């Protein structure tokens, strides 16, 4: 599944979004008919998503290398690396590349249930893929590398929750814990959706107000909504992609109470579903290195806009 934990769309929590106006303002000069037209009309709930990457890694198109050849950052590494001074100096951003390329080899481990505060969910999932076999887990790593370099160039300390440096996971509870322990100013979980053909566009998932067990998002709901709206607006500008035509009512924003990675976060956090890997038109974008760079740029601009206040 394309999220850190799966759930049928009917169980998604939705609430009125005060941030929709902010998104609309950012969209105004970006794409004609942002949130409307053929790719902006509401078409109903998302259809069930494929559970895994059926194609082998060797069948996938080879994505371009990330902009930097430097060693990948781990949850503890980047703090010791020299950073340029810039507008984000002193800020910490955690990037959470969805899934793990090797999750498929560890189905027993990733199917183990973990506590998400309000219940229990699978440790992780394999993610989706394009019909040609380009795995979501490869896509998320590539975009995360690009995003890391853009943020570091502005002086931010960047932490990745994983960098294909472990056999599986991390589990969804650990992904949240990494952001919390880093005392991140913002956390962005990078994903791509696996919905039906014809469902197109990106959306940003925001945490609902959840309180129960070890989950309490009450202090981060407003700040996360602000972060998500700014990312959505800049994503439109940078990529030219319209907000989702099947989730979020044309706003590109969706609020959920069922994702452990959000429920357990104590710092501002959102998920970004960059497009639908199962739609041929979206897949053509997601497999293009130049578009992935634009996607990273849109997220970086939104994060910087949020952090600068």
The model's pTM is: 0.79
Compute the distance between CA of residue 21 and CA of residue 27 in angstroms, rounded to an integer.
10
Positive or negative, the Cα torsion across 134, 136, 142, 146? Answer: positive
Q: Rounded to whole angstroms, how far apart are CA atoms 261 and 171? A: 9
Looking at 122, 136, 174, 273, which residue is catalytic?
273
* Greatest C-alpha distance within the chain: 48
> What proportion of the chain, given as a percentage, has pLDDT over 70?
74
Does the pLDDT value for residue 66 go beyond 80? no
- Could you tell me if residue 1 is inside a domain? no
CATH number of the domain at 200, please. Answer: 3.40.630.40
Instruction: Give the Cα separation of 146 and 150 in Å (integer).
Output: 6
pLDDT of residue 118: 84
Does 83 fall in a domain?
Answer: yes
Give the count of domains, the chain.
Answer: 1
Which residues constitute the domain of residue 240?
9-34+43-308
CB 112, CB 123: distance < 8 Å: yes
CA distance 263 to 215: 5
* 282 assigned to some structural domain: yes
Q: Side-chain half-sphere of 152: how many Cα atoms within 13 Å? A: 21
Q: Is there a catalytic annotation at residue 181?
A: no
Specify if 201 maps to a domain.
yes
Look at residue 4 and tell me if it is in a domain.
no
Q: Does residue 127 belong to any structural domain of this protein?
A: yes
Residue 72 contacts residue 145 (beta carbons within 8 Å) = yes
**Burial group, residue 115, by CB count within 10 angstroms (0-12, 13-18, 19+):** middle
Does any domain span residue 106?
yes
pLDDT on residue 80? 58
Question: Is 135 part of a structural domain of the chain?
Answer: yes
- What's the pLDDT tens digit per position in 192-251? 999 999 999 999 999 999 999 899 999 999 999 999 999 999 999 999 999 999 999 999
């Amino acid at each position: 599944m394309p999220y850190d934990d799966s759930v049928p769309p009917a169980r998604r929590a939705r609430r009125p979004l005060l941030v929709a106006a902010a998104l609309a303002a950012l969209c105004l000069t970006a794409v004609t008919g942002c949130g409307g037209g053929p790719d902006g009309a509401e078409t109903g709930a998302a259809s069930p998503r494929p559970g895994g990457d059926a194609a082998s890694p060797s069948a996938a198109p080879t994505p371009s290398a990330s902009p930097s050849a430097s060693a990948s950052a781990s949850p503890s590494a980047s703090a010791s690396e020299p950073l340029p001074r810039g507008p984000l100096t002193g800020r910490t951003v955690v990037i959470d590349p969805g899934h793990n390329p090797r999750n498929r080899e560890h189905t027993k481990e990733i199917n183990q249930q973990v506590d998400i505060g309000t219940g229990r969910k699978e440790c992780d999932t394999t993610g989706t893929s394009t019909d040609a076999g380009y795995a979501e887990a490869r896509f998320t790593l590539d975009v995360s590398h690009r995003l890391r370099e853009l943020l570091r160039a502005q002086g931010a300390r960047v932490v990745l929750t994983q960098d294909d440096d472990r056999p599986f996971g991390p589990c969804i509870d650990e992904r949240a814990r990494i952001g919390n322990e880093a005392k991140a100013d913002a956390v962005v979980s990078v994903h791509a959706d696996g919905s039906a053909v014809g469902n197109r566009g990106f959306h940003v998932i925001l945490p609902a107000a959840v309180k129960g067990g070890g989950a309490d998002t009450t202090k981060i709901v407003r700040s996360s909504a602000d972060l998500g709206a700014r990312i959505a607006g800049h994503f439109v500008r940078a990529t030219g992609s319209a907000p989702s035509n099947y989730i979020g009512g044309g706003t590109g924003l969706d609020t959920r109470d069922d994702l452990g990675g959000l429920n357990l976060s104590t710092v501002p956090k959102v998920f970004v579903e960059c497009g639908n890997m199962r739609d041929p038109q979206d897949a053509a974008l997601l497999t293009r290195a130049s578009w992935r760079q634009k996607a990273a740029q849109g997220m970086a601009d939104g994060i910087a806009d949020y952090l600068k206040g």
